[in-house]
Amino acid sequence: MRIIVTGGSGDLGGRVVHELRARGHEVVAASRRSGVDLATGDGLDAVLDGADAVIHSASSQTKPQTVDVAGARRIGESLRRIGSPAQVVSISIVGSDRVPMPTTAPRSTPSASWRRPASRRRCCGPRSSTRWPPSSPRPGASVH
């Protein structure tokens, strides 16, 4: 499968590229370094031509509306323009440090579960009554 990973030279995208290649896929890491600019759309048609899937992991802390949001729109427009049936998946780690989940909360000391005997450990941290995804958006979250 030919998979295009936007932000493929970044932290998240680079990990996705590595994992997909390890699974035997043909992967193209699309980023400004490779001539693809989501802020302007430059290079998109060429890199997306022949793609089976697109994983949109590009992000910008300084221009999130231009790269994250409008970049996703440009990907869709490009795929439509070239007549591609490629599937698109959008992933992000932006804000993951602010999600109120016990598994993502930073810890200053080892979890109590790792101080227990191995036979009594849980692999994924303490159980939580928090539902994910939440039934209503977080305060200040966009609902568009």
Spell out the long-range contacts of 65-69 with Cβ–Cβ below 8 A and sequence spacing 24 or more: 66/38, 66/39, 67/38, 67/39, 68/92, 68/94
Q: What pLDDT, in 10s, does the model give residues 13-62?
A: 999 999 999 999 999 999 999 999 999 999 999 999 999 999 999 988 88
Superfamily of domain 2-90: NAD(P)-binding Rossmann-like Domain (3.40.50.720)
Q: What is the pLDDT averaged over residues 123-137?
A: 42
Domain residue ranges in the chain: 2-90
The amino acid occupying position 123 is C
